[in-house]
A and B are shown apart, each in its own frame.
Chain A
Amino acid sequence: MSVLLEPMSGPVTERLRRDSPAPVRLVPAEMAELERPKFLGSRPRSRSISLVVRASIPVVLLLAWWYGSASGFISPTVLASPRDVLRALVELFETGDLKLFLLASLGRAGAGVGIGVSAGLLLGISSGLTAIGEEIVDPTMQMLRAVPFLALVPLLISWFGIDETFKVVLIACSSAFPMYAYSYLGVRNVDRKMVECARGFGLRGWRLLVQVILPSTLPSLLMALRICLAISVVGLIAAEQVGTTRGIGYLVLLAKQYFRQDYMVLCILLYATLGLIFDTFIRLLERITMPWRRHSSIR
């Protein structure tokens, strides 16, 4: 062993020894070609740093906007300044319209997505689970899926009028199809061997679905929910163009009619906030509904 501890000598090591602030551990010459294994795994990251990185780009964009407007680089006719938008927000808040509009929009989105997601889930599961379900449901769904749901607006208005029913149905239509596609795929991709085994141990029907199949499809279902919520916002704009005096879509319409730049930008910010709320909601659901995933690691 004493051989291994012998220091090397030579000009390079001498310089290393002299320049390095930390004591250099010298390696004997016969090990010079060896190296420390480069770590290829992922290191645990601190939550606060992760949060700062996450927020950095939105914050930079906001700062650039604010600086651009204040310095006169961005003309108010191109983009309203943060101050104007903030004033519009305060105005909206003080009249109580903000709360009213947000609640109206969230209510419509919630009801529509709830109905659409339930229908899509039911159809997707029956289609993914059994051959007969697939034969009955899938061809029709694939055809209807190709129809852009905004094309349904005139038809739905003639059926349901321009009131709440029409709005909820439109949003339900928009979210049923992504949910259908993802739940069908999710059920199809459940580990067949695991299902076969569970059936062998006497798990059938409803219990097999709830205990084995649905938990395995949860990642797909949550992904679908994310998409449905995002699409519901598009549905909201279309639905709230007619037959209402509340909602963010109505606010967009107002801003357009009166050419209020500040309100237009405010609407965009409100939509962005909605997106953030939805994303946080899904992340929370992921943590709550799949506790077994938190403990798994790469093997």
Chain B
Amino acid sequence: MATPLQYPMTSANGADPTGPHETVLTADSAPAVHVRRLRKTFGTKVVLDGADLDVARGEFVALLGTSGTGKTTLLRILAGLELPDQNQSLVLVPKLRTTVYQEPRLVPSMRVAANVAIGQPRSKETRAAAERALAEVGLSSHARAWPATLSGGEAQRVALARALVREPQLLLLDEPFGALDALTRLQMQDLVADLCAVHRPAVVLVTHDVDEAIRLADRILILRDGRFVVNVRLDIPAPRDRNDVRFLDQRRSLLAEMGVETRFGGRHVAKSRPPAS
């Protein structure tokens, strides 16, 4: 599996971002994501200022940070939806990458199965794969349904099936549970954990929910002032129990790193979510 990494082709304005860093990595130990000196400014506002990021194949990384710290911008750069500032940033990602956004972003005029298979050549194999993916997220019976008839959680599961049906090497999750209710969120987190354990893509999850990050990730990074200031590998065995002392300790220290003061050891914090960035 030594697929060369490539620049994310931007679809934002069609410009080709091939800069001075057209490095091709082919070693077997090659990471799934390789980012160096990433800088991104919007006008005069510096959002990312020399961020470095490596994600190994099959690794689940969570990016934490309060609103406006540039987590989503970083993810959008990895997805090819934003261009980094050219002259110094190096961004390499695998060719096969898919994204799940905060909103399901389904095409309302396509039935669920067609939404899952979107952009793929029409064939028997594609249809079978879409049906398998829908079965994995528990929505086999909705294959012929229109997106407008789905609940929020169901629509988001379709979006997950659409992202996984291509067997991506890199799965980008942009606060995929942010718009869901608390109970659906818990179920979705379990579903994502299970499916990622089966498909083993490298995952970059952007979230501001500390519990979610601890529950799912192999490694947690905190973004502050345009750089990663914390890089914690989690050694708590899965499934991770919220009441485990190690879980609670981890949360307390991560919240402290994010500058959030907590009473009662932070038990209430998950409820008071900041607005989506």
Contact = CB atoms under 8 A, between A and B. Distances in A.
Given A200-B80, A202-B120, A292 B108 contact: yes
B123 interface: no
B81 A296 contact: no
Contacts of A291: 146
Interface string B1-23: 00000000001000000000000
B109 A215 contact: yes
For chain B, which range describes its interface: under 10, 10 to 19, 20 to 34, or 35 or more residues? 20 to 34
Interface string A217-236: 01000000000000000000
Interface string B43-73: 0000000000000000000000000000000
Interface string B110-142: 100000001110000000000000000000000
A212 B118 CA distance: 10
A275 B230 CA distance: 69
B149 interface: yes
A211 B149 contact: no
Contacts of A194: 105-107
Interface in B82-107: 98-99, 101, 103, 105-107
Nearest to A292: B146
B141 to A, nearest CB: 15
A200 B79 CA distance: 8
Given A292-B148, A295-B148, A296-B148, A200 B109 contact: no
Contacts of A292: 108-109, 146-148
A24 interface: no
B157 interface: no
B101 A201 contact: no
Nearest to A290: B109
Given A198-B107, A200-B99, A201-B98, A295 B119 contact: no
A114 to B, nearest CB: 24
Contacts of A295: 146, 148-149
Interface in A163-220: 191, 193-194, 196-203, 207, 211-212, 215-216, 218
Interface in B176-224: none
A200 B107 contact: no
Contacts, number: 62
Contacts of A212: 107, 109
B276 to A, nearest CB: 13
B149 A201 contact: no
A215 B147 CA distance: 14
A211 B107 contact: yes
Nearest to A214: B109
B40 interface: no
Contacts of B106: 194
Give the interface size class of chain A. 20 to 34
B162 interface: yes
A215 B110 CA distance: 9
A198 B107 CA distance: 8
Which residue, A197, A212, A291, has most C-beta atoms of chain B within 10 A?
A197
A297 B146 CA distance: 11
Nearest to A203: B119
A215 B107 contact: yes
Centre residue among B80, B108, B146 by max chain A CB count within 10 A: B108
Contacts of A293: 148
B178 to A, nearest CB: 14
A200 B81 contact: yes
A198 B146 contact: no
A203 B109 contact: no
Contacts of A196: 11, 81, 105
Contacts of B80: 200
A216 B108 CA distance: 8
Listed residue (B11, B99, B162) with the most chain A CB atoms within 10 angstroms of its CB: B11
Contacts of A200: 11, 79-81, 98-99
A202 B119 contact: yes
> Top 5 closest A-B pairs, CB basis?
A215-B109, A296-B148, A202-B119, A197-B105, A201-B119
23 contacts: A193-B101, A194-B107, A196-B11, A196-B81, A197-B101, A198-B107, A198-B119, A199-B11, A200-B81, A200-B99, A201-B98, A201-B119, A203-B118, A211-B109, A211-B110, A211-B118, A216-B108, A218-B109, A291-B146, A292-B108, A292-B147, A295-B146, A295-B148
Given A201-B119, A212-B107, A218-B109, 9 more contacts: A193-B105, A200-B98, A211-B107, A211-B110, A215-B110, A292-B108, A292-B109, A292-B146, A297-B148
